[in-house]
Amino acid sequence: MYKTTAKIDGMMCGMCEAHVNDAIRAKLVTKKVTSSHKKGETVVIAENAFTAEQLSAALDGSGYKVLSARSEPYEKKGLFFRR
């Protein structure tokens, strides 16, 4: 699993967050997508890491612009997580 954090330009409200989330879910295979217009970022949890180009292609034509993206390994930490 990978966590990809992308800086997104153009989100102004909660509906913008929903539009970005829906566009990414429609074009890419994801487990979870969350966006924040206040932070100007979107976080994608998926089996594969995504590049800025892949996210840009998913948002193509939506009016939102991917400024940057970085991926890192993601390990789910649940309520009963033990090491």
Amino acid (one-letter) located at 80: F
Distance, in Å, from the CA atom of 79 to the CA atom of 83, rounded to the nearest integer, reads 13
Token look-up 């890419």 returns 28
Residue 54 counted as domain residue: yes
CATH number reported for the structural domain that contains residue 12 in this entry: 3.30.70.100
Residue 20 counted as domain residue: yes
Residue 78 counted as domain residue: no
Residue 80 counted as domain residue: no
| Per-residue pLDDT reduced to its tens digit, 3-23 | 999 999 999 999 999 999 999
Q: In total, how many domains does the chain have?
A: 1
What's the predicted TM-score (pTM) here? Answer: 0.86
Domain span holding position 14: 2-73
| Per-residue pLDDT reduced to its tens digit, 41-59 | 999 999 999 999 999 999 9
Three-state DSSP state, 59: coil
